[in-house]
Amino acid sequence: MKGTTLFSTILFLLFASCTQQADEEKSQLPNIVLIYLDDMGYGDLSLTGATGYSTPNLDRMATNGMFFTHFYSPQAVCSASRAGLLTGCYPNRIGFSGALSHRSLTGISDEEETIAEVLKKKGYATAIFGKWHLGFQQQFLPIHHGFDEFYGIPYSNDMWPYHPSGPNVFPDLPLFENDSIINPAVTPADQEQFTTDFTLRTVDFIKRNQKQPFFVYLPHPMPHVPLHVSDKFKGKSAQGLYGDVMMEIDWSVGQIIQTLEETGLVGNTLVIFTSDNGPWLNYGNHAGSTAGLREGKGTSFEGGQRIPCLMMWKGVIPESTVCNNLASSIDILPTLASVSGAPLPENKIDGVNLLPLLQGNFNVHPRKSFYYYYRQNSLEAVRTNHWKLVLPHPGRTYEGFQPGNDGLPGKVNGNYLFEGGLYDLRRDPGERYDVSESHPEIVRELEKIAHEAREDLGDELKDIPGKNRRQPGRVTKN
């Protein structure tokens, strides 16, 4: 009997020791806050030249962390960009191109692993508060793709009877709690509270989960048109409504950082701030700034895909550092897998681990090249080092058109034929001077990279199917 009792005691102690060790390892995992804006341009922060308003909390993030100057969205439009961010893939690899409509029968596939699903393997609590836009039917909603909680809208905040043609095109905009609609018809007054509501949900989630590792994704619907801001910031900016919106977003960042400090979590939390693509320029004073980069949202030029990115992680990321290395939102998933010790998805991904850069080692270059895809899954440009080869392609151009104002869009040429060219982004970030004649060897090198991209991912304009393109999820009947 005594032997049995002794054996039971030993088993209990071993179990308790293993449990304690697992709990200690779990408590040491970094928390992650990912803030993702909609249509914010490269020039919309104080530190990148914004005027008429200030972003002191984002400036503070830069002071306490790292600013990435050559950071790219996966594609210059909503759904595709978010698909790339959450799966670590070029969007066309997983069947995404452009923005899903409110009638779309496709969404994120069950075969793809999101950041949330990767982190769940390590015991993370996960949540999303804001805009989803990866499919609005129940099977595509966030809680079926790794998120424990969802509070937000299924697609863009203009996908309701807002546009002149809206009453004949769009239904009412719903607000979801998990997979249930809690408000079937969001109003402009509701949208004025979006930034505050999604921020407070994020703060509450952090406080409720401070005893375990957490991942919270805050994809603000702003500053996408139509712009809405709460009374706290209405009329506060010298730049008008757009500046008011950016000031409230900066306030949101400040609330989150303050919460991390008050809970004692700031030293063990990686905070990431970036945007899904560049500004929607034909909306004029309701659009952001590219800081002089060429074109904007919906294009593969720098103004469409180069976005500001800030990362802060006390004790890991050196303070007040600037990273000029090439990086993209598709690199966030493998980076978070690395810092959490989680295994990568089984399916092929395109992202690379940025952890050496976060640690301040800029002599390494995890990302060697980048592919710019857009509509019709066509390859429109490739980049390596500071060289960018723009390939001949049809596309959107804002140049030569007077932008609109106060919420009304100006004209845009949606089918302009670009001739292409070679650009030295080190000296010509505005992509104004084609230097292909002076550097034929660089053109050949980048053409080789373009060929490899097409062989792998395809190019519908050239009738190249690609070897490794997967299909999106499609609506299934119960």
pLDDT for 397: 98
Asked if the model's pLDDT at residue 70 lies above 60, the reply is yes
Mean pLDDT of 100-118: 97
Q: Read off the pLDDT of residues 296-336 as tens digits, 9 standing for 90 and up.
A: 999 999 999 999 999 999 999 999 999 999 999 999 999 99
Write down the CATH number for the domain with range 371-474. Answer: 3.30.1120
Is residue 37 a contact partner of residue 276, using CB atoms and an 8 Å limit? yes
63: pLDDT confidence band, cut at 50, 70 and 90? very high
Domain 29-368 annotated CATH 3.40.309.10: no
Mean pLDDT of 240-260: 98
pLDDT for 19: 44
All structural domains of the chain with their residue ranges: 29-368, 371-474
- The mean pLDDT value of the chain amounts to 94
| Stated pTM of the model | 0.94
pLDDT for 27: 64
Asked if the model's pLDDT at residue 17 lies above 80, the reply is no
pLDDT for 375: 79
Q: Read off the pLDDT of residues 346-393 as tens digits, 9 standing for 90 and up.
A: 999 999 999 999 999 999 999 999 999 997 789 999 999 999 999 999
Q: How many CB atoms lie within 10 A of CB 238?
A: 10
Asked if the model's pLDDT at residue 16 lies above 70, the reply is no
Peptide bond into 91 cis (omega under 30): no
pLDDT for 18: 44
pLDDT for 22: 46
Q: For the residues of 295-362, what is the DSSP string, one character each?
A: S-TTSSSHHHHEEEEEEE-TTTSPTTEEE-S-EEGGGHHHHHHHHHTPPPPSS-------HHHHTT-T
Asked if the model's pLDDT at residue 13 lies above 60, the reply is no
The full length of the chain comes to 478
Catalytic machinery residues = 78, 133
pLDDT for 37: 98
Weakest mean pLDDT among 13-22, 49-58, 399-408? 13-22
pLDDT for 151: 98
Q: What is the DSSP letter of 445?
A: H
Asked if the model's pLDDT at residue 142 lies above 50, the reply is yes
Q: Read off the pLDDT of residues 179-196 as tens digits, 9 standing for 90 and up.
A: 999 999 999 999 999 999
